[in-house]
Amino acid sequence: MAKKIKRIGILTAGGDSPGLNAAIRGVGKTCLGYYGMELVGFRDGFRGLVENKRLKLDKTTLAGILTVGGTILGTSRDKPHRMVIDGRTKDMTKTIVDNYHEWGLDCLVCLGGGGTQKNALRLQEAGLNVITLPKTIDNDVAMTDATFGFATALDIATETIDRLHSTAHSHHRIIVAEIMGHRSGWLALGSGIAGGADVILIPEIPYDVEHIAAAIKRRSRAGTNFSIVAVAEGAMSRDDARALLAAEKKLERARTLHDRKEAKLELASLEVRHTGNTMRLAKHLEELTQLESRVTILGYVQRGGTPSAADRILATRLGSACGDLINEEHYGVMVAARGDGTEPVPLEKVAGKRKSVPPDHSWVTTARRVGTCMGD
Ligand code: F6P
DSSP 74-97: -----BTTBEEETTEEE--HHHHH
CA of 299 to the centre of ligand 1 (A): 9
Residue whose CA is closest, atom 14 of ligand 1? 15
Terminal Cα-to-Cα distance of the chain (whole angstroms): 67
CA of 94 to the centre of ligand 1 (A): 28
CA 161 centroid distance within chain: 20
pLDDT reported for residue 274: 63
Query: Mind telling me the catalytic residues?
Result: 138
Q: Which atom of ligand 1 is nearest to the CA of 234?
A: 8
- Domains of the chain (ranges; CATH) run 7-148+307-349 (3.40.50.450), 153-303 (3.40.50.460)
Q: Ligand 1 pocket, 113 CB below 6 A? A: yes
Which letter does DSSP use for residue 303 in this model?
Answer: G
Distance CA 112, CA 121 (A): 12
Distance CA 277, CA 332 (A): 40
Q: Ligand 1 pocket, 181 CB below 6 A? A: yes
pLDDT reported for residue 179: 98
Question: Between β-strands 38-42 and 7-12, what pairing exists: parallel, antiparallel or unpaired?
Answer: parallel
Query: What would the pLDDT profile of 19-66 be if each residue is shown by its tens digit?
Result: 999 999 999 999 999 999 999 999 999 999 999 999 989 999 999 999
Average confidence (pLDDT) per 10 residues, the chain, 376 residues: 88 98 98 97 98 95 98 98 96 98 98 98 98 98 98 98 97 97 97 98 97 97 96 94 90 91 86 77 97 97 98 98 98 98 98 97 98 98
Residue whose CA is closest, atom 7 of ligand 1? 182
Distance CA 79, CA 46 (A): 7
H or E element at residue 244:
helix 238-253
pLDDT reported for residue 272: 63
CA 125 centroid distance within chain: 24
Query: What would the pLDDT profile of 313-329 be if each residue is shown by its tens digit?
Result: 999 999 999 999 999 99
pLDDT reported for residue 267: 85
pLDDT reported for residue 264: 87
pLDDT reported for residue 1: 67
Question: Between β-strands 199-201 and 227-232, what pairing exists: parallel, antiparallel or unpaired?
Answer: parallel
